[in-house]
Amino acid sequence: MQKILYCASTASHILNFHLPYLQFFKEQGWQVDVAVPEKAEIPYADNVIELPMEKSLLAVGNLRAVQITKQLLADNEYELISTHTALAGAIIRLAVKLLGKQMKQGKIVHTSHGYFFSWESDPAGWSYLWAEKLLAPVTDVLMVMNRADYGLAVRHKLCRNIVPIPGMGIDLAKFSRVGKEDKKSLKLKAGFNPDDFLLVYAAEMSKRKNQGELIRAFALAAAQEPSLKLVLAGEGALKDQYQEMAHECGFGERILFPGQVSAMVNLYEMCDAAVSTSRSEGLPFNVMEAMACGLPVIASRIKGHTDLLSWSDGFQDSLLYAPGDEQTLAGMLLNLCRDEKLREKAGDENRIKVRHYELEMVRPVVIEGYGELLQ
């Protein structure tokens, strides 16, 4: 029986994005092992292996994860190793590199879900570039999700076989667009005023996701528009800091922190627009989910966002702002709130464009990316 080791830096990453691919390998008769940092029940996995990882790439504790991985690979003959996220990809591939000739025939496919370095990145991001360059020789296939990352991979020669993919795919059957009256009813049931204009940003509370920028911009807009409310869904290390920031901005009662939301579709259906102020992305799933619900999306003009939200006629660019420009972001929030035609046009176009990222279209592209390694 052929064996695959599938790895990511969190179990939730596997559960949210990769079950269709685990299912594929299982149905093809492969043994499917999954390595993640915590205990988890993962469908289609024959074995879930706990692999302790610390979030910082250069943390000393990750050396232990490398040693555990070396032993795991030495004890098993995996025909294929599929790594996801920068941290898990670095740990697993470093173990492969250190094993050298002791490595038992396994081929390595690494999927980048968004490089943390760019053409003008801050110095901290370049540690990830150095890691990618170091590990390029042991990477048989590299999959990337946006145009900018493909250019970076080619420029820095991060693999001989670089495959562009349109993300991991979204199941559009789970999402639908809600009409005006139904949306008002959903708001009322959730305790909102039916005429509230609800903005939503669903993401980990972190420096990279950059909720602080949105809170400051929201405060500028909220001072001019009493109907605006902001829902910041998610958990993370900076949640307390962001809650304090919301309180201090003077509009804390209009900024909600519901925590981790298990059924985001229910939240999107009652909201009027989505926002993402992230500093770095691959091909963001939260934006695709909002698009699938027919919501207009205001986002920072970064890779990933531009792939999803830029249109040939330039229209959607009116909803992309330069990172750090909080005044422009605040103006966009106000304009979208007050311009119903703009909301409808953006929502309509988002519903059309997101079809290119539907799971049934994307999964064959991803599987084909493995190429001859599956034979």
% of the chain with per-residue pLDDT over 90: 87
Q: pTM of the entire structure?
A: 0.92
Q: Positive or negative CA dihedral for 27, 30, 31, 33?
A: negative
| pLDDT at site 46 | 97
What secondary structure does DSSP assign to 248-307, as a single string? Answer: HTT-GGGEEEEE--S-HHHHHHH-SEEEE--S--SS-HHHHHHHHTT--EEEESSTTHHH
Among 128-132, 217-221, 266-270, 354-358, the least confident range: 128-132
- Region for residue 173 given its phi and psi (left: phi exceeds 0; alpha: psi -120 to 50; beta: otherwise): alpha
- The DSSP call for residue 358 is B
Check: CB of residue 331 under 8 Å from CB of residue 319.
no
Are 275 and 140 within one domain?
no
Other Cβ atoms less than 10 A from the Cβ of 37: the count is: 18
Confidence band of 118 (pLDDT split at 50, 70, 90): confident
Q: How many residues would you count in the chain? A: 375
Q: Which comes out higher in pLDDT, residue 56 or 347?
A: 347
Strand, coil or helix: 63: helix
The predicted-structure confidence for 75-116, as pLDDT tens digits, reads as follows 999 999 999 999 999 999 999 999 887 676 689 999 999 998
Is the per-residue pLDDT at 312 higher than 90?
no
Asked whether residue 164 carries a pLDDT value surpassing 70, the answer given is: yes
Which three-class secondary structure state does DSSP give residue 170?
strand
The rounded distance, in Å, linking the Cα atoms of 63 and 371 is 32
Burial of 234 (0-12, 13-18, 19+ CB in 10 A): buried
Does residue 123 share a domain with residue 42? yes
Q: Which of 141, 5, 149 is nearest to 71 (CA)?
A: 5
Contact 268, 347 (CB under 8 A): no
Give the span between the Cα atoms of 70 and 61, in whole angstroms. Answer: 15
Instruction: For residues 114 and 147, give the distance between their C-alpha atoms in angstroms, rounded to a whole number.
Output: 11
Q: Where are the alpha helices (DSSP H) in the chain?
A: 11-17, 19-27, 62-75, 86-99, 126-135, 147-155, 180-189, 211-222, 239-248, 264-270, 285-292, 305-309, 326-338, 340-353, 359-370
22 shares its domain with 113 = yes
Are 57 and 131 within 8 A, CB to CB? yes
Closest of 19, 25, 113 to residue 373, by C-alpha: 25
Question: 241 and 112, same structural domain?
Answer: no
Query: Are 328 and 363 in the same domain?
Result: no
- Chain mean position to CA 50: 22
Task: State both tokens at 120.
Answer: 């003008």
144 shares its domain with 232: no
Question: 119 falls in which pLDDT band (50, 70, 90)?
Answer: low
Total domains, the chain: 2
* CATH number for the domain harbouring residue 22: 3.40.50.2000
* One domain, residues 262 and 121: no
Domain of 7, in residue numbers? 3-169+359-374
Note whether 304 and 335 are same-domain residues. yes
Residues 188, 142 within the same domain: no
* 260 and 295 co-located in one domain: yes
**Are 145 and 230 in the same domain?**
no
Is residue 69 domain-shared with residue 198, that is, in the same domain? no
